[in-house]
Amino acid sequence: MPTGETGNNRCGFLPLFLFLAAAVISAYSPVLKAGYTNWDDPAYTYENASLQAVSAANLKTIFCSFKNSQYYPVSELSFLLENALFGERAVVHHAGNLLLHCLNAWLVFIFLRSFSKKRNLSFIAALLWAVHPVNVESVAWIAERKQALYAFFYLAALTSYWLNLETGARKFYLAALALFIISLASKPAAVTFPLALLLLETGRACHNLPKIARRTAPFFACAALFTAISVWGQSSGGKILPAQAPALFSFYLLKALAPFNLSAVYPYWEMLAVFKTNAVLYTLPALAFTAAFIFAYRRNRPAAWGLAFFALHILPHVSLLTIGNMIAADRFLYLPAVGLIYALLETAEALAPAGRAKRAGLILSAALSVLLGAATFERTKVWTSSLTLWADTLEKFPLEPVANINIAEALVKAGRSGEAQAHYLTILKTNPGHKDALYSLGTLYGMANRHAMALPLLERALALDPANGPGWNNLGLVQQTLGRRAEARKAFLMATAVSPDYAPAYANLAANEAAQGQCSAAKAHHFQARRLGFTAGPLPGNCAEGGTGGVKRR
Flag the least confident range among 3-17, 107-121, 481-495. 3-17
Task: Return d(Cα 352, Cα 124) in angstroms, integer.
Answer: 15
Q: Residue 552: is its pLDDT beyond 60?
A: no
Average pLDDT score over residue span 227-249: 68
Pairwise pLDDT comparison (350 vs 5), residue with the higher score: 350
What pLDDT score was predicted for residue 249? 94
What pLDDT score was predicted for residue 321? 54
What pLDDT score was predicted for residue 8? 47
Pairwise pLDDT comparison (403 vs 212), residue with the higher score: 403
Average pLDDT score over residue span 58-64: 87
Task: Return d(Cα 550, Cα 338) in angstroms, integer.
Answer: 58
- Taking a C-beta distance cutoff of 8 angstroms, is the pair 425, 409 a contact? no
Q: Residue 389: is its pLDDT beyond 90?
A: yes
Angle between helices 170-186 and 73-86 (to 10 degrees): 80
What pLDDT score was predicted for residue 522? 86
What pLDDT score was predicted for residue 546? 45
pLDDT digits (tens, 9 = 90+) for 520-551: 888 889 888 888 888 767 776 677 554 444 44
Pairwise pLDDT comparison (101 vs 9), residue with the higher score: 101
Average pLDDT score over residue span 487-507: 92
What pLDDT score was predicted for residue 452? 93
What pLDDT score was predicted for residue 241? 56
Task: Return d(Cα 237, Cα 248) in angstroms, integer.
Answer: 18
**What single string gives the DSSP state of each residue in 422-475?**
HHHHHHHHH-TT-HHHHHHHHHHHHHTT-HHHHHHHHHHHHHH-TT-HHHHHHH
What pLDDT score was predicted for residue 551? 46
Percentage of the chain exceeding pLDDT 70:
89
Average pLDDT score over residue span 104-130: 96
What pLDDT score was predicted for residue 24? 97
Q: Residue 331: is its pLDDT beyond 70?
A: yes
Percentage of the chain exceeding pLDDT 90:
67
Q: Residue 461: is its pLDDT beyond 90?
A: yes
Nearest-5° angle of CA 173, CA 176, CA 180?
145
What pLDDT score was predicted for residue 237? 47
pLDDT digits (tens, 9 = 90+) for 90-101: 999 999 999 999
pLDDT digits (tens, 9 = 90+) for 356-367: 667 777 888 999
Q: Residue 324: is its pLDDT beyond 80?
A: no
Sequence-separated (6 or more) residues with CB below 8 Å from residue 381: 30, 388
Average pLDDT score over residue span 277-294: 92
Flag the least confident range among 186-200, 258-272, 349-363, 374-388. 349-363
Sequence spans of domains, the chain: 236-351, 388-531
Q: Residue 503: is its pLDDT beyond 50?
A: yes
What pLDDT score was predicted for residue 10? 53
Task: Read off the amino acid at residue 195.
Answer: L
Q: Residue 11: is its pLDDT beyond 60?
A: no
Flag the least confident range among 32-46, 101-115, 164-178, 230-244. 230-244
Flag the least confident range among 151-155, 378-382, 471-475. 471-475
Mean pLDDT (the chain, rounded): 89
- Taking a C-beta distance cutoff of 8 angstroms, is the pair 235, 69 a contact? yes
What pLDDT score was predicted for residue 460? 96
What pLDDT score was predicted for residue 426? 95
Average pLDDT score over residue span 473-500: 93
Question: What architecture is the 388-531 domain classified under in CATH?
Answer: Alpha Horseshoe (1.25)
- Taking a C-beta distance cutoff of 8 angstroms, is the pair 308, 339 a contact? yes
Pairwise pLDDT comparison (268 vs 398), residue with the higher score: 398
